[in-house]
Amino acid sequence: MKEPSNEFKQVRFVEVDSERAGQRLDNFLLAELKGAPRSLVYRLLRTGQVRVNKGRAKAAYRLLDGDTVRIPPISLSAPKAVSLPPKPQLAQLEARIIHEDARLMVINKPSGMAVHGGSGLSFGVIEALRALRPDIASLELVHRLDRETSGCLLVAKRRSMLRWLHGQIREDGMEKRYLGLLAGELPKKSLLVDAPLRKNSLKSGERIVRVDPEGKPSRTRFRRLRQFTDATLVEAQLYTGRTHQIRVHAAHLGLPLLGDGKYGDKQANAALRELGLKRLFLHAHALKFELPENAGWFEIEAPLDSDLQAVLERLR
């Protein structure tokens, strides 16, 4: 039998430095145990084999400067060859970089591309970006977008910037605005949906989110931008960042997003397919947040994709 090529045979105690302070424990472990599947990392956490300062800690625990992490011995099989996107797809993603500086990057993410690999996907946006920028030591997603959603995706090029931006998100300092097309008419020019959301799993294993009094607080404001006969173009502003939040809150209003196969209206979706809508009409339109070191505010907008723009023209 071939010997594993990537082994961690001994218990290790790793002290967290200032550069990695603020990182989630699960992400820290994935970096330390390169090649380890996520399922293994979460099993180590669940069974208490990983300790922080001699005590159990959850995956979401954010490490502090000076914390000591106990990492148990594990043995891994030889890693599989990394599958990279084809060159045309890399070129397409390169063309969709709408901002880049020494500390951060903003991508106008295409619809249909996941933000990271896994669950049967060999690569996502972040793996493709690492292939495009192999010289950058740290390239990390600041937040996520659903696979079907296009628009502004923020990527940090330095750990210090990642910590700062995560702090902005935790303190509600990052403004996120989306463009969406609702089935039906929004009854007011501006409408705040304040409805707690809870994740559920169906028997099939599919993840679904529902409005639930026992869920996490969730707030979305919908602003009417343009009214059509049977649809409303809205700007949706997130005040919290729950999974599928805009999609579920829109459905909760009785005005689901058009093109939404999970929470949407089949009849309305079929009608819009006749006008060329073949995807979820949800686009991360704009980001705004404060930069560190009193460097002012950062604002950026991602233009609406041409296929969505064409649908609006046909509706008009």
Query: Per residue in 259-300, pLDDT tens?
Result: 999 999 999 999 999 999 999 999 999 999 999 988 899 999
Band (pLDDT 50/70/90 cuts) for residue 1 is very low
Q: Which residue has the higher pLDDT, 37 or 59?
A: 59
Give yes or no for residue 66 having a pLDDT over 60.
Answer: yes
**Domains of the chain by start residue, with CATH:** 6-76 (3.10.290.10), 87-158 (3.30.2350.10), 172-315 (3.30.2350.10)
Band (pLDDT 50/70/90 cuts) for residue 3 is very low
Q: Which of 146, 260, 265, 305 is catalytic?
A: 146
Report how far residue 64's alpha carbon sits from residue 210's, in angstroms, rounded to the nearest whole number.
Answer: 34
**What's the pLDDT score for residue 56?**
93
Query: Per residue in 240-255, pLDDT tens?
Result: 989 999 999 999 999 9
Please state the pTM of the whole predicted model: 0.78
146 has catalytic annotation: yes
**What's the pLDDT score for residue 116?**
77
Report the percent of the chain where pLDDT is more than 70: 93
Give yes or no for residue 201 having a pLDDT over 80.
Answer: no
Give yes or no for residue 119 having a pLDDT over 80.
Answer: no
Band (pLDDT 50/70/90 cuts) for residue 203 is low
Tell me the average pLDDT across 162-168.
Answer: 91
Report how far residue 263's alpha carbon sits from residue 271's, in angstroms, rounded to the nearest whole number.
Answer: 16
